[in-house]
Structures are given as structure tokens and as C-alpha cells.
Chains A and B, each alone.
Chain A
Amino acid sequence: NAGVTQTPKFQVLKTGQSMTLQCAQDMNHNSMYWYRQDPGMGLRLIYYSASEGTTDKGEVPNGYNVSRLNKREFSLRLESAAPSQTSVYFCASSLQGANSPLHFGNGTRLTVT
């Protein structure tokens, strides 16, 4: 039972480079999320997708784009990486409904030099 799978686990980029973080879930969840986690800042929502075909900005969307490819997959793209984007990125998914918690992937540790 894989749950939420993120790739890659680690990545080092140089300023200005681009990359895509991949996320897939096999729990038939409708909603998917991208968070970043920084020391002292907690988990902050970058983008979310309430259902296939829809995406919306969260708290810190600048510098990122997302694609909800299908119900299972939700990718996060950094078009031109900046050192401020050095962080741990978590993908999460949930069912819709007031009592549905988020289930997290294992995270991607990104360093931008």
C-alpha cells in the first residue's frame, strides 16, 4: 500500500535552474496539496487541487506552478529556482469532507545554491 509517493527524495539545484517535483497517490483521494516546511515557519500551503482539473493558490504560491495531471498525480514546478526556495516539500492528499485528514508523502529535500 504505497499511499502518497513523492520523487525525488533529494535535489540540489543552482539558482535559475528548473525542476518538477512529482507526486502520486493511490488512495482515490479527490484533493491534493503541496506544502513547504521551513524551520520556525511550520507547514505552509503552496498550491492545492480540490479535484481533477482544478488548482488554486495557497499561502505562498509565488515562484511555483502546478499541474493536476489526473486524479492520482499532482506535480509542482519551479521554473527558475531561487535560494529562498530551499526547503522540504511535502505532497499530501485527502478525501473531501470535514472529517478527512491529510496524508503526507515522504517529502523532497531541495537545496538551491
Chain B
Amino acid sequence: QKEVEQNSGPLSVPEGAIASLNCTYSDRGSQSFFWYRQYSGKSPELIMSIYSNGDKEDGRFTAQLNKASQYVSLLIRDSQPSDSATYLCAALKSGGYQKVTFGTGTKLQVIP
């Protein structure tokens, strides 16, 4: 079992719709969770961080965390073609060092 699992997609949504990206993690010691956006040929770019159960909103993005279910999600409202990218979920466990484990990413395609 991978430590952080994501559906590889592609997830196709029409422009203006809500895109829902999901992630599960296996290490209950994970403390913080991050969503990165990665355009083809580019480096991962941090878009959301979430540390406690519940929802966190930032503009069109909402991150949701449920530690009991070991589940993290990212909602993108009013999806735009420019949102088409691969979205990486990451889980952080702090200890001797910042152990950050990444999922393999979900490819999102927003259809104009």
C-alpha cells in the first residue's frame, strides 16, 4: 500500500464546474497536508496547506481534511482551462526531519 494514494486520472470537468480531487494516506502520524499543482514540464507549486480537521478555503480552492478517515480532498470551484495540471497530494510527518510523502498525482483536464 502506498503511503499517499491518489487516482491518476485524468479527471475531466467542463469549464465552470467544480473539480473534486481526492487523496488517502496510511500513516496516522501525518500532521500536515499539502496540495501542489504541477504543470507539464514545471516544478510543483504549493496551492493549499491544511493542518486540522475540516475545511480551509482560499479563493476558488477548498481543502478538506478528515483525519479519522485519513482522507484529504481539494475542491476547485469555477474550474478554468488554466487549472488543467497534475495535482499532487503530500503528507508531512515531523520528527527528526520533515518527512514529506507525495502521491503520484491526479491529472485534471478542464474542457472549455
Contact = CB atoms under 8 A, between A and B. Distances in A.
A89 to B, nearest CB: 11
A107 B38 CA distance: 12
B32 to A, nearest CB: 5
Interface of A: 31, 33, 40-43, 45, 48, 50, 56, 90, 94, 96-107
B34 interface: yes
Nearest to A50: B97
A97 B49 CA distance: 13
Contacts, number: 62
Contacts of B96: 50, 56
B107 to A, nearest CB: 11
Interface in B46-102: 46, 49, 51, 88, 90, 92, 94, 96-98, 100, 102
A56 B96 CA distance: 10
A103 B97 CA distance: 15
Contact of B43 (A42, A94, A96, A107): A107
Most chain-A CB neighbours within 10 Å: which of B42, B49, B51, B102?
Answer: B102
B43 A98 contact: no
Contacts of A43: 44, 88, 102
A42 B44 contact: no
Contacts of B51: 98-99
Nearest to A58: B99
A40 B104 contact: yes
